[in-house]
Amino acid sequence: VDAIRTSWFFRTTGKYFDTQIIYDCERKEYAKQNGKNYLGLLFPHGVISFGGLSGAALGPDPYGPTAAASAIFMLPFLRHVFSFFGIINSDKKTMMKNLKTRDVLLYPGGIAELFLADRDEERLFFSQRKGCVKLALEAQCDILPSYILGNTDMFDIVKTDFIKKLSRKLGVSILFFYGRWFLPIPYRTKVRFVVGKPIRVPKCSGDWGPSQEQIDEVHKQVTEEVKRIFDKYKATHPNYKTKELVMT
């Protein structure tokens, strides 16, 4: 994974988007506590997360494999391509296994958030996405939210209800998009990869895992932190200064 993220492709992608990593805290505050690994939650998904790729080249902490939809790994060719880039299955068994030994990155908005990508407004699909929080509590790993300013500014999407429904049914993204010269080449926007404050996860209070109250409370903390870093740093990106963040 480290060899790939420091490769020519990743470094060139970072330069193309004039990528900058912004840490909201002193680096010492990101130190792992009590041996806990991090579940890094990345927002927003975007059409293709070139923001995540370019940020990886600069080595944001934490860094580990990125989890992707299970449906992708049912396709032989894509399964090998994604595995080569260190991408893992987002099913619970795989996630729990990896979180025991290393940090894992996840875009919690998933396919649903992909269809919210818009160059004119910033929308996240997270209000009801509590599975990632439950996973963090069960795995006893801390959560580190990050916001990638510019990730939804790279492509225009052709949106239809039929494509949305088909994608959700298949569990994989199907969409038509374009960038520069009406080709699948991303617009040359800027990327500001903002790493927020760590959210320390408490021990599970239930007999068989976290209580719903714990899940709701940690989810609330993540939501508030994502909104905070968006509002605090949106002025660092020329196309985001007047944007407001909407959670759905």
Number of domains the chain is built from:
1
Taking the alpha carbons of 82, 5, 106, 242 in that order, is the dihedral positive or negative? negative
d(CA 181, CA 219): 40
Phi-psi region of 171 (alpha: psi -120 to 50; beta: other; left: phi over 0): left
CATH number at residue 38: 3.40.1130
CA-based angle 146:150:155, to the nearest 5? 130
Helix ranges (DSSP H) in 91-242: 92-99, 110-114, 131-139, 161-170, 212-233
> Which letter, b or e, does each residue of 16-38 get, where b requires 16 or more Cβ atoms within 10 Å of its Cβ?
ebebbbbbbeeeeebeeeeebbb
Torsion of CA 11, 13, 16, 22, to 10 degrees: -70
The predicted pLDDT at position 201 comes to 96
| Long-range pairs, 95-102, Cβ under 8 A, ≥24 | 95/67, 95/135, 95/139, 96/135, 96/138, 96/139, 98/64, 98/65, 99/37, 99/39, 99/135, 99/139, 99/141, 100/37, 100/139, 101/37, 102/37, 102/64, 102/65
pTM assigned to the model: 0.89
> Could you read off the pLDDT tens digit of each residue along the chain, which spans 248 residues?
566 777 788 889 999 999 999 999 998 999 999 999 999 999 999 988 899 888 887 876 667 888 987 766 766 666 666 776 778 889 999 999 999 999 999 999 987 888 888 888 899 999 999 999 999 999 999 999 999 999 999 999 887 788 778 877 877 667 789 999 999 999 999 999 999 999 999 999 777 889 999 999 999 999 999 999 999 999 999 999 999 999 99
What are the residues facing 122 on neighbouring strands? 245
The predicted pLDDT at position 26 comes to 93
Domain containing 66 equals 2-247
Task: Write out the two tokens for 232.
Answer: 């605090």
Residue pair 244/159 in contact by the 8 Å Cβ criterion? no
The predicted pLDDT at position 120 comes to 87
